[in-house]
Structure 1
């Protein structure tokens, strides 16, 4: 466009506008990938939090049973659970054993159980709680 006076010819050319649109489109692709990664991370963190709460729930149930029914009511073994309802897809395994050597934290001469509660979703382990149950 011929413009003898520069004051009346202000603005961008069509070529400049197309160049800006192409640059913005190229920059938008990696930014949209970040949003996808952030949403996947949010879902994974939610699963870890739920798994930790499920493991803590089982640990508190065992501690409550020991408190109300005594140490003898806690029977050694491995107890797998496939959870349902709001927790479909989560699996919880409780393992109670009396190790030959006393675990750390077991007072000398006391009978102790080693309790491990683990929660996974599919094949990926998400949370595990291990504690010592003492017969005193």
Structure 2
């Protein structure tokens, strides 16, 4: 899980991130207020863009370009942790469960092998 019950009770989570340059930093993500979440939730529904939720967690001094400076795993960690702080423990459990179901479904799906291209039954004579 991205956030423990203690993180939710404290209202923040400290995480270590890595920039694309290789520099590491510990940052604090903060749970948003209920009032701030109202507008961010509406923005998320209307645009599908996760940034309003993430910005509530990282603060106004960082913009979306800041997220692009992180390596992929760190950017994903920031987004997932911000959502976990914003929507709570039950939301995180549901998302992890849904991801597990999708993974299991994908591994159960039997894929039929591609058929080889049509080949003549006898080799062609040299020309």
Instruction: Compare the two structures and name the one with the higher strand fraction.
Output: 1
Structure with more relative contact order (C-alpha pairs < 8 Å, separation 6 or more): 2
TM-score range with shorter-chain normalisation?
A: under 0.3
* Structure 2 length-normalised TM: 0.28
Instruction: Compare the two structures and name the one with the higher helix fraction.
Output: 2
